Amino acid sequence: MKEFIAKYKEAIGFILRFFSVYILLTVIYTLYINSFNTSIDGITKLVAEHSEWILEFSPYHLRMVPDAAEPFYKVMVNDAYVARVIEGCNSVSVLILFVTFIIAFRGSVKNTIVYATGGVVFLYLVNLFRIVVLTIAVYKYPEYTESLHGLVFPSIIYGAMLILWVFWVRRFARK
């Protein structure tokens, strides 16, 4: 057993760090979300407001309208209800996964903090871009809503995260 642990020490450390950080961050986020009961949480509200602000520069009349009964925003384009922004749209689960991987694949403390912070900001912006483009695409091409929402646009944020991970491992992670 000692030989096994010695041989796979780094892999075991990675797995333990990964799951420890992931569980900790997920529990914190779950407690945060549960504190809002049936109202819209602050992060989702911020994402909706930033998306609305970006979409103001489009040729479409867009409004994010809080739903009266449920915790989401109705996305209205030219007074047509085209989508909704829910808690899952705020990308926090993706950000948790990103940060967890960066911490698990150790680098120096300084590089970890700087890269994780920069990566979170970058992925947040990618998510806003994703919401904006998805909103316009669903408005213009409603027949493709399921493909766009289920396949195309998740690949944007997960693809961006994968590229950041590869760069982290190649450039900053301890060998």
Q: Kindly report whether the global pTM for this prediction surpasses the value 0.75.
A: yes
On whether residue 122 sits in a domain, the answer given is yes
On whether residue 29 sits in a domain, the answer given is yes
pLDDT band at 57 (very low <50, low <70, confident <90, very high): confident
DSSP SS3 for 56:
coil
Task: Express each pLDDT in 18-45 by its tens digit.
Answer: 999 999 999 999 999 999 988 999 999 9
Q: What's the sign of the alpha-carbon dihedral 121, 123, 126, 131?
A: negative
- Distance between CA atoms of 130 and 155, rounded to whole angstroms? 10
Say how many domains are in the chain: 1
Domain span at residue 9?
2-58+89-171
8 Å CB contact between 145 and 138: yes
pLDDT for position 84:
93
Helices (runs of H) and strands (runs of E) counted in the chain? 7, 3
On whether residue 38 sits in a domain, the answer given is yes
The angle, 0 to 180 degrees and rounded to 10, between the axes of the packed helices 109-140 and 92-104 is: 150
On whether residue 134 sits in a domain, the answer given is yes
Q: Span 122-137, mean pLDDT? A: 94
Residue with tokens 């085209």: 82
Both tokens assigned to 37: 């009961």
On whether residue 81 sits in a domain, the answer given is no
DSSP E strands: which ranges in the chain?
Answer: 62-66, 73-77, 80-85
Task: Express each pLDDT in 3-19 by its tens digit.
Answer: 888 888 888 999 999 99
Task: Express each pLDDT in 66-107 by its tens digit.
Answer: 998 899 999 999 989 999 999 999 999 999 999 999 999 989
Phi, psi of 41 (to 5 degrees): -70, 160
- Distance between CA atoms of 168 and 61, rounded to whole angstroms? 40
